[in-house]
Amino acid sequence: MTPVWVRVPPTPFRSKIIKRHYGLLTFFALLLLLTACGGGDTEATPVRRSTVGPSPTPTLRSTALPTVASPVPVGVPDNPIKIAFVGELTTARRTLITTLSEALTNELSNFRLGYYDGITVEFIAVESRQEALQLLCTAHDTVVLVDAFTYIAAENRCGAIPTFQIENGTGSRARRGTSFELVVNTRIVPNLTNLTGRDRRFCAISLESDTGFIYPALALRQYNIDLLDSETIEIVTEGFENDEEMVKGLAGGANQRICESAALPVGRFEEILDDLPEDEQDDLQDVGIFTSNEVTEWPVIPNDVLVFPPENLLPEFLRTEIVNAIAAIVSDNGEANDDLKTLFGYDDLVAVTPDDFAEFSTWLRTIGWNMASTN
């Protein structure tokens, strides 16, 4: 049997019950809702969660830089200014340079260099002109006594500065340069064109000799004569031990002669003749100094020069102090000057500037010499 739902209208009593409890039911409903949403005074039990903190970043540590030593000033005891000369350091020279180093350092003792009192110098030897040229243009602490050719090369290469020049002789005989004489068998070499050719020979004690070979070889370039051209002339360096024997080798017939020409310092040929006995002088009647309208005079080659590096390597104030100290030693003319004379080989030391070498420099350009080389 199917049930039948009959809607019963609310009675007055039932209506009162519903109204009475409606507010209470609403309160409990709200309370349940708040509890479900986490409201109210009751704290929810905290949930323990594992937390992973940020990964620690390793501290970067810088690598320690190597210790860099402070540059030692030029001219202090640990880094003296060097005054060099080209030549062998013999026992006698060792004694000289020790004494001179002390004397010049004492002369410079009143000059204050930074935290140091005085300028320290040291004399040294170098082996060659090439080494001297290299030092003048690269080293910041080396002054060098060099030949005129090396000075001109250094001046053209890097602006090296001349300060003193050697003077030899005294009074009217004082000379700041030297030249050579061309000595020939006058019968065979009456003029320059006969200097070269078939069977022509030039005698030289050494190819390193300034007046005996280097200067003549350069000077003869002006006249289109090349002593280094083996097809036109032979260079002979054997068969004689000294200048006297070389001069004797210019005389005689074809089977006796060693060579037909040679070069000697000015005045040396006359000295040799004066020292020979009369009969030996007669044997040299065909030997004499070459004279010709072709050549009025051979060039004068300046004597050695004390040269300083350019200012970008050695400051001007240091150069000035050293130049003044050397000038004081020379003018005092005491033991230190005697030692310096012995080492450098001078009768006087004369102050110079680049203008004093202008004529020589022009001549070198004329003959086509390499102005930045010692060759």
pLDDT: which is higher, 308 or 173: 308
Q: What angle do CA 362, 368, 374 make, to 5 degrees?
A: 85
pLDDT confidence bin for 46, thresholds 50/70/90:
low
Cβ neighbourhood burial of 273 (10 Å; 0-12, 13-18, 19+) = middle
3-state secondary structure of 72: coil
Determine the pLDDT at residue 366: 87
Residue 218 pLDDT greater than 60, yes or no: yes
User: Which among 41-55, 72-86, 121-135, 293-307 has the top mean pLDDT?
Assistant: 121-135
Residue 261 pLDDT greater than 60, yes or no: yes
Mind listing the domains of the chain with CATH numbers? 81-167+303-366 (3.40.190.180), 180-289 (3.40.190)
Residue 80 pLDDT greater than 90, yes or no: yes
pLDDT confidence bin for 277, thresholds 50/70/90:
very high
DSSP output for 311-366: TTTS-HHHHHHHHHHHHHHHHHTSHHHHHHHHHHT-SEEEE--GGGGHHHHHHHHH
Residue 76 pLDDT greater than 90, yes or no: no
- Choose the weakest-confidence range: 143-147, 243-247, 351-355, 361-365: 361-365
Which residues lie below 8 Å from residue 326, measured CB to CB, with a gap of 6+?
104, 163, 164, 306, 340, 349
Determine the pLDDT at residue 32: 46
pLDDT: which is higher, 58 or 244: 244
> Global pTM?
0.72
Determine the pLDDT at residue 372: 64
- Choose the weakest-confidence range: 59-68, 113-122, 219-228, 353-362: 59-68
- Choose the weakest-confidence range: 29-43, 90-104, 157-171: 29-43
- The per-residue pLDDT for range 3-12, each reduced to its tens digit, is 554 454 555 5
pLDDT: which is higher, 373 or 46: 373
Q: How far apart are CA 299 and CA 90, in angstroms?
A: 33
Determine the pLDDT at residue 6: 47
| 95-to-53, 66, 102, 123 alpha-carbon distances in Å | 80, 41, 11, 11
Rounded mean pLDDT of 62-66? 69
Cα radius of gyration (the chain): 50
